[in-house]
Structure 1
């Protein structure tokens, strides 16, 4: 990473272009005046004062009231802590607003659509967690052949549901059985000769016989580059049909 990359990264963390350049210049100088900063960077001297004052307000620069005024950056550890805190607070405010906007909209739009597509493991994990949060009666969670293990966050959700009285059935291998040992989660295995064992199925989630998520894996030569795409539907005719197909196609082990 060169200086331009570092300045761009600081901008991504919330600093203006001039603030990022002044802060970077002060790291080189240690202590300096507006003239020193101007000579080190392309920030106009008249703009150094405002940028330095803003950095002081952010807790990133100390100011010595001398003639001329001297500026000194805080330690990198302190700067990192301040910027991380600002970033997290900004993120929280943004997502608080987005959540409020979503609640005003309600779930009507999702219910009107028959089927939705989600791409990427993290996004799919999030959708599975949302579906599980609505479970009241029973849950089926099935892993395809050679699928990734059950993530601990989802596994914890399944354990808590089972402990609360929800019937939770998980279909997986011996490692999955060990993962849910000593919990209320029932683990079953597909027969070795199951006709769909070689399909690129990732995960199947059925909640209360009304909501379903089905993912498939796009296998690559490098396992780390494997991708996952899922479709999901909730309380729709499409969901009912898919659940029936899963029930009939995968047999008693996946009975919902």
Structure 2
């Protein structure tokens, strides 16, 4: 919704019914703009109008409004997917593998990328969880859906978090990570903390950090690293894992 539409909808949700004058006074939306906003809301199935003098407006019940908004959102996402799915990909002449690093911002986008990487693993997933808030239901579902031929190794920073992981993902090999610098007892509250480290098939990695004040998650994602960088990253991530259980051995 645009701002005036959102204000009017919230305003009407607080009233049984209301006129344009009442709604304008409650929401601080100019009276002339109230009519425009209400017409848009009516077209979306969120507001009903009684054509009396003066006109009376009311919002549909919250459950009904939520369902309507959800249907509209899912329909737009589906249409967006279908449209993008038909876009032609420009093929590059140079097909040689390129080592690349990209940055990402936003917990939802980073979690979606993490889940996608895990789902497409063919040999090994090494994951270190730096914050228990990142052990979401979606991530747990993705981890439990890994195929039988994929080795799953998960590190935690604390015994309590390891217990949570063992309970949530019983098929995983878990360990207490030796990466105290992620968010150990000596880490200051205003320091940036590592959120998650992911290494897939020793060739694709993702590492994220959590900003101390905003709690925003930022990440870098790289692929095509069949070299020493991945070897070093993997050994660092697996600190604390018993060598005999190390899939890399």
TM-score norm. by structure 1 comes to: 0.64
Distance 1:53 1:123, change over 3 A: closer
The answer on 1:174 being equivalent to 2:159 is yes
Q: Counterparts of 1:39 and 1:147 in 2: how far apart (Å)?
A: 45
Show structure 2 runs of 5+ residues with no match. Answer: 183-192
The answer on 1:198 being equivalent to 2:181 is yes
Distance 1:202 1:241, change over 3 A: farther
The answer on 1:60 being equivalent to 2:60 is no
* Deviation of 1:70 (Å): 6.4
Partner of 1:227: 216
Q: Counterparts of 2:11 and 2:196 in 1: how far apart (Å)?
A: 47
Q: Is the contact between residue 125 and residue 153 of structure 2 (CA under 8 Å) also seen in structure 1? A: yes
* Deviation of 1:28 (Å): 6.9
Higher helix share: 1
Q: Counterparts of 2:133 and 2:23 in 1: how far apart (Å)?
A: 54
| Aligned positions, number | 220
Partner of 2:80: 98
Q: Is the contact between residue 141 and residue 171 of structure 1 (CA under 8 Å) also seen in structure 2? A: yes
1:191-238 per-residue CA deviation (whole Å, 9 max, x = no partner) reads xxx4x5224433111122222111233334xxxx3333211123x13x
1:13-59 per-residue CA deviation (whole Å, 9 max, x = no partner) reads 8xxxxxx49x9689879476x9x889987339xx95x8877665536
Q: Counterparts of 1:107 and 1:135 in 2: how far apart (Å)?
A: 26
Equivalent residue for 1:132, pick from 106, 118, 139: 118
The answer on 1:11 being equivalent to 2:28 is no
TM-score norm. by structure 2 comes to: 0.65
Distance 1:94 1:12, change over 3 A: farther
C-alpha RMSD of the superposition: 4.3
Partner of 1:115: 101
1:26-105 mapped onto 2 (5 Å cutoff): 30=17, 42-43=31-32, 58=45, 60-63=47-50, 71-74=55-58, 76=59, 78-103=60-85, 104=87
* Deviation of 1:244 (Å): 1.5
Q: Is the contact between residue 147 and residue 202 of structure 1 (CA under 8 Å) also seen in structure 2? A: no
Q: Which structure's CA Rg is the greater one?
A: 1
Q: Is the contact between residue 135 and residue 208 of structure 1 (CA under 8 Å) also seen in structure 2? A: yes
Distance 1:89 1:26, change over 3 A: closer
Q: Counterparts of 1:152 and 1:101 in 2: how far apart (Å)?
A: 30
Show structure 1 runs of 5+ residues with no match. Answer: 1-6, 14-19
Other structure's SS at 2:174 match: strand
